[in-house]
Amino acid sequence: MSARYRPEDYLYASARVRALENKLVGNARIRQLLEMKSAEDLRAALAAMGYVGEVEQMLHAMLREGFDTVCAALPDPAVVAFLQYPYDTHNLKVLLKCAIRRVDPTPLLIDAGTLPAAELPLLLAQNDAKIPAPLREGARAARECYDETKNPQEIDFVLDRACFSAMYESASAVPFAQRLVAQKADLVNLQILLRVMRLAMGEVGHALLLRALVPHGTLGEAWFSEAYGAGEGAFPALLACTPYAALWGEDNTPAALEKRADDLLMAEVGRAKYIAFGAEVPIAYLWGLDTAVRDLRILWTGLVSGADRETIATRVRECYV
Protein backbone atom coordinates (compact mmCIF):
# COMPACT_ATOMS: atom_id res chain seq x y z
CA MET A 1 0.00 0.00 0.00
CA SER A 2 0.99 3.64 -0.22
CA ALA A 3 3.60 4.74 2.31
CA ARG A 4 1.48 7.76 3.22
CA TYR A 5 -1.41 6.97 5.53
CA ARG A 6 -4.14 9.52 6.33
CA PRO A 7 -6.88 8.45 8.78
CA GLU A 8 -9.35 10.88 7.18
CA ASP A 9 -9.23 8.83 3.98
CA TYR A 10 -11.12 6.14 5.91
CA LEU A 11 -14.14 8.19 6.99
CA TYR A 12 -16.57 6.37 4.69
CA ALA A 13 -15.04 2.95 5.32
CA SER A 14 -15.17 3.50 9.08
CA ALA A 15 -18.85 4.43 8.96
CA ARG A 16 -19.61 1.41 6.77
CA VAL A 17 -17.75 -0.94 9.09
CA ARG A 18 -19.40 0.44 12.23
CA ALA A 19 -22.73 -0.57 10.69
CA LEU A 20 -21.38 -4.06 9.93
CA GLU A 21 -20.26 -4.47 13.55
CA ASN A 22 -23.90 -4.71 14.62
CA LYS A 23 -24.15 -8.08 12.84
CA LEU A 24 -20.78 -9.42 13.97
CA VAL A 25 -20.91 -12.53 16.17
CA GLY A 26 -19.72 -11.40 19.58
CA ASN A 27 -19.31 -12.60 23.15
CA ALA A 28 -23.03 -12.46 23.96
CA ARG A 29 -23.98 -14.55 20.92
CA ILE A 30 -21.22 -17.06 21.60
CA ARG A 31 -22.53 -17.48 25.16
CA GLN A 32 -25.98 -18.19 23.71
CA LEU A 33 -24.59 -20.73 21.27
CA LEU A 34 -22.71 -22.45 24.08
CA GLU A 35 -26.12 -23.49 25.37
CA MET A 36 -26.70 -25.69 22.31
CA LYS A 37 -26.94 -29.36 23.26
CA SER A 38 -25.91 -30.86 19.92
CA ALA A 39 -24.24 -30.06 16.64
CA GLU A 40 -27.63 -30.12 14.90
CA ASP A 41 -28.98 -27.58 17.39
CA LEU A 42 -26.03 -25.35 16.54
CA ARG A 43 -26.61 -25.82 12.82
CA ALA A 44 -30.26 -24.77 13.31
CA ALA A 45 -29.21 -21.72 15.33
CA LEU A 46 -26.76 -20.69 12.61
CA ALA A 47 -29.47 -21.15 9.97
CA ALA A 48 -31.73 -18.85 11.99
CA MET A 49 -28.91 -16.27 11.87
CA GLY A 50 -28.83 -16.58 8.07
CA TYR A 51 -25.88 -18.98 7.82
CA VAL A 52 -27.05 -21.99 5.84
CA GLY A 53 -25.15 -24.93 4.39
CA GLU A 54 -22.29 -27.26 5.23
CA VAL A 55 -20.72 -25.65 8.27
CA GLU A 56 -17.06 -25.52 7.20
CA GLN A 57 -17.95 -24.13 3.77
CA MET A 58 -20.29 -21.64 5.42
CA LEU A 59 -17.50 -20.42 7.71
CA HIS A 60 -15.16 -19.99 4.75
CA ALA A 61 -17.89 -18.06 2.94
CA MET A 62 -18.34 -15.78 5.96
CA LEU A 63 -14.67 -14.86 5.78
CA ARG A 64 -14.69 -14.34 2.02
CA GLU A 65 -17.82 -12.19 2.15
CA GLY A 66 -16.42 -10.17 5.04
CA PHE A 67 -13.16 -9.39 3.29
CA ASP A 68 -14.91 -8.60 0.00
CA THR A 69 -17.43 -6.26 1.66
CA VAL A 70 -14.83 -4.35 3.65
CA CYS A 71 -12.31 -4.13 0.81
CA ALA A 72 -15.01 -2.64 -1.44
CA ALA A 73 -15.38 0.25 1.03
CA LEU A 74 -11.66 0.95 1.44
CA PRO A 75 -9.69 3.60 -0.45
CA ASP A 76 -6.79 1.12 -0.52
CA PRO A 77 -7.66 -2.56 0.10
CA ALA A 78 -3.97 -3.30 0.63
CA VAL A 79 -4.38 -1.88 4.15
CA VAL A 80 -5.99 -5.16 5.24
CA ALA A 81 -3.90 -7.52 3.08
CA PHE A 82 -1.76 -8.52 6.06
CA LEU A 83 -4.84 -10.16 7.58
CA GLN A 84 -5.31 -12.27 4.45
CA TYR A 85 -1.72 -13.38 3.95
CA PRO A 86 -2.03 -16.22 6.51
CA TYR A 87 -4.73 -17.73 4.29
CA ASP A 88 -2.55 -17.34 1.19
CA THR A 89 0.24 -19.00 3.15
CA HIS A 90 -2.01 -21.86 4.26
CA ASN A 91 -3.00 -22.44 0.65
CA LEU A 92 0.62 -22.42 -0.55
CA LYS A 93 1.51 -25.01 2.11
CA VAL A 94 -1.42 -27.16 1.01
CA LEU A 95 -0.42 -26.95 -2.66
CA LEU A 96 3.22 -27.83 -1.99
CA LYS A 97 2.45 -30.72 0.36
CA CYS A 98 -0.33 -32.13 -1.81
CA ALA A 99 1.95 -31.98 -4.85
CA ILE A 100 4.53 -34.01 -2.93
CA ARG A 101 1.90 -36.54 -1.85
CA ARG A 102 0.13 -36.44 -5.23
CA VAL A 103 -3.30 -35.79 -3.76
CA ASP A 104 -6.01 -33.26 -4.67
CA PRO A 105 -5.53 -30.04 -2.66
CA THR A 106 -8.95 -28.57 -3.45
CA PRO A 107 -10.84 -29.66 -0.29
CA LEU A 108 -8.14 -28.14 1.93
CA LEU A 109 -7.93 -24.69 0.33
CA ILE A 110 -9.50 -21.67 2.06
CA ASP A 111 -10.73 -18.92 -0.24
CA ALA A 112 -10.07 -15.99 2.10
CA GLY A 113 -6.64 -14.85 0.95
CA THR A 114 -5.62 -12.03 -1.35
CA LEU A 115 -5.58 -14.50 -4.25
CA PRO A 116 -8.54 -16.67 -5.31
CA ALA A 117 -7.87 -20.19 -4.09
CA ALA A 118 -9.00 -21.66 -7.41
CA GLU A 119 -6.41 -19.62 -9.33
CA LEU A 120 -3.49 -20.15 -6.96
CA PRO A 121 -2.31 -23.54 -8.33
CA LEU A 122 -1.72 -22.04 -11.78
CA LEU A 123 -0.21 -18.86 -10.33
CA LEU A 124 2.19 -20.94 -8.25
CA ALA A 125 3.13 -23.17 -11.18
CA GLN A 126 3.91 -20.08 -13.27
CA ASN A 127 5.70 -18.26 -10.41
CA ASP A 128 3.30 -15.43 -11.19
CA ALA A 129 4.08 -11.94 -9.88
CA LYS A 130 0.49 -11.69 -8.62
CA ILE A 131 1.67 -13.72 -5.63
CA PRO A 132 3.19 -11.25 -3.14
CA ALA A 133 6.97 -11.32 -3.51
CA PRO A 134 7.78 -12.65 0.00
CA LEU A 135 5.29 -15.50 -0.43
CA ARG A 136 6.41 -16.24 -3.97
CA GLU A 137 10.04 -16.45 -2.91
CA GLY A 138 9.03 -18.36 0.21
CA ALA A 139 7.20 -21.00 -1.81
CA ARG A 140 10.23 -21.48 -4.06
CA ALA A 141 12.59 -21.69 -1.09
CA ALA A 142 10.25 -24.06 0.77
CA ARG A 143 10.17 -26.50 -2.13
CA GLU A 144 13.95 -26.35 -2.49
CA CYS A 145 14.37 -26.94 1.24
CA TYR A 146 12.04 -29.92 1.11
CA ASP A 147 13.85 -31.38 -1.90
CA GLU A 148 17.09 -31.15 0.06
CA THR A 149 15.85 -32.43 3.43
CA LYS A 150 12.70 -34.46 2.59
CA ASN A 151 11.25 -32.95 5.77
CA PRO A 152 7.72 -31.47 5.25
CA GLN A 153 8.15 -29.43 8.43
CA GLU A 154 10.68 -27.28 6.60
CA ILE A 155 7.88 -26.13 4.28
CA ASP A 156 6.06 -24.76 7.31
CA PHE A 157 9.17 -23.07 8.70
CA VAL A 158 10.07 -21.33 5.45
CA LEU A 159 6.55 -20.24 4.54
CA ASP A 160 5.71 -19.05 8.06
CA ARG A 161 8.76 -16.76 7.96
CA ALA A 162 7.74 -15.58 4.50
CA CYS A 163 4.20 -14.91 5.73
CA PHE A 164 5.36 -12.63 8.53
CA SER A 165 7.68 -10.79 6.14
CA ALA A 166 4.72 -10.19 3.81
CA MET A 167 2.53 -9.12 6.74
CA TYR A 168 5.18 -6.72 8.06
CA GLU A 169 5.67 -5.14 4.64
CA SER A 170 1.92 -4.76 4.12
CA ALA A 171 1.35 -3.30 7.60
CA SER A 172 4.25 -0.85 7.48
CA ALA A 173 2.20 2.30 6.79
CA VAL A 174 -0.28 1.93 9.68
CA PRO A 175 1.17 1.95 13.23
CA PHE A 176 -1.80 -0.02 14.60
CA ALA A 177 -1.24 -2.77 12.03
CA GLN A 178 2.50 -2.74 12.71
CA ARG A 179 1.89 -3.32 16.42
CA LEU A 180 -0.46 -6.20 15.72
CA VAL A 181 2.03 -7.93 13.43
CA ALA A 182 4.89 -7.45 15.90
CA GLN A 183 2.84 -8.73 18.83
CA LYS A 184 1.54 -11.69 16.85
CA ALA A 185 5.11 -12.58 15.85
CA ASP A 186 6.23 -12.41 19.49
CA LEU A 187 3.35 -14.57 20.70
CA VAL A 188 3.85 -17.15 17.94
CA ASN A 189 7.55 -17.31 18.82
CA LEU A 190 6.89 -17.67 22.54
CA GLN A 191 4.66 -20.67 21.85
CA ILE A 192 7.31 -22.15 19.55
CA LEU A 193 9.90 -21.67 22.29
CA LEU A 194 7.83 -23.60 24.81
CA ARG A 195 7.08 -26.43 22.40
CA VAL A 196 10.77 -26.83 21.55
CA MET A 197 11.79 -26.58 25.23
CA ARG A 198 9.46 -29.46 26.04
CA LEU A 199 11.12 -31.67 23.44
CA ALA A 200 14.29 -31.63 25.60
CA MET A 201 16.59 -31.90 22.58
CA GLY A 202 19.54 -29.83 23.83
CA GLU A 203 21.60 -28.13 21.12
CA VAL A 204 19.58 -29.85 18.40
CA GLY A 205 16.50 -28.21 19.88
CA HIS A 206 18.22 -24.82 19.92
CA ALA A 207 18.97 -25.13 16.19
CA LEU A 208 15.36 -26.20 15.59
CA LEU A 209 14.14 -23.16 17.54
CA LEU A 210 16.16 -20.74 15.45
CA ARG A 211 14.81 -22.27 12.23
CA ALA A 212 11.22 -22.07 13.45
CA LEU A 213 11.17 -18.49 14.79
CA VAL A 214 9.27 -15.98 12.64
CA PRO A 215 10.64 -12.46 11.98
CA HIS A 216 9.52 -8.92 12.87
CA GLY A 217 8.67 -9.39 16.54
CA THR A 218 10.05 -7.17 19.30
CA LEU A 219 11.85 -10.05 21.04
CA GLY A 220 14.96 -10.98 19.09
CA GLU A 221 16.82 -14.24 18.55
CA ALA A 222 19.18 -13.45 21.43
CA TRP A 223 16.24 -13.27 23.87
CA PHE A 224 14.91 -16.62 22.69
CA SER A 225 18.34 -18.24 22.81
CA GLU A 226 18.79 -17.05 26.40
CA ALA A 227 15.31 -18.25 27.36
CA TYR A 228 15.92 -21.63 25.76
CA GLY A 229 19.18 -22.04 27.67
CA ALA A 230 17.52 -21.06 30.96
CA GLY A 231 14.82 -23.72 30.59
CA GLU A 232 11.10 -23.76 31.21
CA GLY A 233 11.51 -23.22 34.95
CA ALA A 234 12.90 -19.74 34.31
CA PHE A 235 10.38 -18.92 31.61
CA PRO A 236 7.72 -17.20 33.79
CA ALA A 237 10.32 -14.81 35.26
CA LEU A 238 11.70 -13.98 31.82
CA LEU A 239 8.19 -13.52 30.48
CA ALA A 240 7.35 -11.14 33.34
CA CYS A 241 9.89 -8.67 31.90
CA THR A 242 7.98 -8.50 28.59
CA PRO A 243 4.49 -7.21 27.69
CA TYR A 244 3.32 -10.84 27.59
CA ALA A 245 3.38 -11.86 31.26
CA ALA A 246 -0.32 -12.81 31.04
CA LEU A 247 0.55 -15.58 28.58
CA TRP A 248 1.58 -17.80 31.52
CA GLY A 249 -1.17 -19.22 33.71
CA GLU A 250 -2.26 -22.23 35.71
CA ASP A 251 -2.89 -24.30 32.59
CA ASN A 252 0.05 -24.07 30.19
CA THR A 253 -0.88 -26.73 27.68
CA PRO A 254 -0.40 -25.69 24.03
CA ALA A 255 -4.15 -25.18 23.61
CA ALA A 256 -4.40 -22.95 26.70
CA LEU A 257 -1.36 -20.91 25.65
CA GLU A 258 -2.76 -20.41 22.15
CA LYS A 259 -6.07 -19.18 23.55
CA ARG A 260 -4.38 -16.71 25.92
CA ALA A 261 -2.18 -15.47 23.08
CA ASP A 262 -5.25 -14.84 20.94
CA ASP A 263 -6.97 -13.04 23.81
CA LEU A 264 -3.92 -10.82 24.37
CA LEU A 265 -4.01 -9.83 20.72
CA MET A 266 -7.74 -9.16 20.92
CA ALA A 267 -7.11 -6.79 23.83
CA GLU A 268 -4.87 -4.76 21.51
CA VAL A 269 -7.40 -4.98 18.66
CA GLY A 270 -10.10 -3.73 21.01
CA ARG A 271 -8.42 -0.33 21.21
CA ALA A 272 -9.96 0.40 17.81
CA LYS A 273 -13.42 0.59 19.42
CA TYR A 274 -12.50 4.05 20.72
CA ILE A 275 -11.18 5.40 17.40
CA ALA A 276 -13.67 7.46 15.40
CA PHE A 277 -12.20 6.78 11.97
CA GLY A 278 -9.10 5.41 10.34
CA ALA A 279 -7.69 2.15 8.99
CA GLU A 280 -7.85 0.78 12.54
CA VAL A 281 -11.63 0.39 12.25
CA PRO A 282 -11.75 -2.02 9.26
CA ILE A 283 -8.64 -3.84 10.48
CA ALA A 284 -10.22 -4.48 13.88
CA TYR A 285 -13.53 -5.55 12.34
CA LEU A 286 -11.87 -8.13 10.11
CA TRP A 287 -9.74 -9.38 13.00
CA GLY A 288 -12.97 -9.72 14.96
CA LEU A 289 -14.64 -11.56 12.08
CA ASP A 290 -11.74 -13.99 11.89
CA THR A 291 -12.02 -14.62 15.64
CA ALA A 292 -15.79 -15.11 15.42
CA VAL A 293 -15.34 -17.68 12.65
CA ARG A 294 -12.74 -19.48 14.75
CA ASP A 295 -15.08 -19.54 17.75
CA LEU A 296 -17.93 -20.92 15.65
CA ARG A 297 -15.60 -23.64 14.38
CA ILE A 298 -14.57 -24.46 17.97
CA LEU A 299 -18.24 -24.73 18.97
CA TRP A 300 -19.07 -26.91 15.98
CA THR A 301 -16.13 -29.30 16.30
CA GLY A 302 -16.62 -29.50 20.06
CA LEU A 303 -20.26 -30.49 19.73
CA VAL A 304 -19.53 -32.94 16.90
CA SER A 305 -16.84 -34.62 19.04
CA GLY A 306 -19.16 -34.81 22.06
CA ALA A 307 -17.17 -32.42 24.27
CA ASP A 308 -19.06 -31.01 27.26
CA ARG A 309 -20.08 -27.36 27.46
CA GLU A 310 -17.46 -26.47 30.08
CA THR A 311 -14.63 -27.86 27.96
CA ILE A 312 -15.82 -26.02 24.86
CA ALA A 313 -16.16 -22.80 26.86
CA THR A 314 -12.50 -22.95 27.87
CA ARG A 315 -11.48 -23.03 24.21
CA VAL A 316 -13.45 -20.11 22.78
CA ARG A 317 -11.65 -16.81 22.30
CA GLU A 318 -12.66 -13.33 23.41
CA CYS A 319 -14.59 -11.65 20.61
CA TYR A 320 -14.27 -8.11 19.34
CA VAL A 321 -17.84 -7.10 20.23
Counting Cβ atoms within 10 Å, is residue 158 exposed (0-12), middle (13-18) or buried (19+)?
buried
Q: Indicate the angle between helix axes 81-101 and 55-73, nearest 10 degrees.
A: 140
How far apart (Å, rounded) are the C-alpha atoms in residues 193 and 212?
9
Length of the chain: 321
318 residue type, one letter: E
Torsion 20-22-28-33 (CA) sign? negative
Maximum separation of any 2 CA atoms in the chain, in Å: 55
Residue/partner pairs of 45-49 with CB below 8 Å, 24 or more apart: 46/296, 49/25
Q: Please report, as a single letter, which amino acid is at residue 108.
A: L
Task: Check the CA dihedral 165-92-292-80 and report its sign.
Answer: positive
Residue 62's SS3 state is: helix
Which residue type, as a one-letter code, is found at position 290? D
Contact 86, 94 (CB under 8 A): no
For residues 215 and 168, the answer to whether their CB atoms sit within 8 Å is: yes
Pairwise CA distance, residues 49 & 296, whole Å: 13
pLDDT at 60 (0 to 100): 93
Which amino acid makes up residue 95? L
219: closest CA among 260, 188, 195?
Answer: 188
C-alpha to C-alpha distance for 11 and 258, rounded to whole angstroms: 34
* CB of 174 closer than 8 Å to CB of 279: yes
Residue 185's pLDDT is 98
The pLDDT of residue 281 is 98
pLDDT recorded at residue 3: 56
What pLDDT score does 187 carry?
A: 98
Nearest to 229, CA basis, from 190, 202, 189, 204:
202
CA distance 81 to 169: 10
Report pTM.
Answer: 0.94
pLDDT of residue 52: 83
User: Distance (Å, rounded) from C-alpha 260 to C-alpha 195?
Assistant: 15
Residue 298 has phi, psi (to 5 degrees) of -60, -45
Of residues 169, 4, 13, 24, the one with CA closest to residue 85 = 169
Q: Report mean pLDDT in 10-residue bins for the chain, 321 residues.
A: 81 97 94 92 89 89 96 96 98 97 96 96 95 97 96 97 97 96 98 97 97 97 97 96 96 96 98 96 98 96 93 95 93
The CA distance from 254 to 262, in Å, is: 12
Q: Is 155 in contact with 211 (CB distance < 8 Å)?
A: no
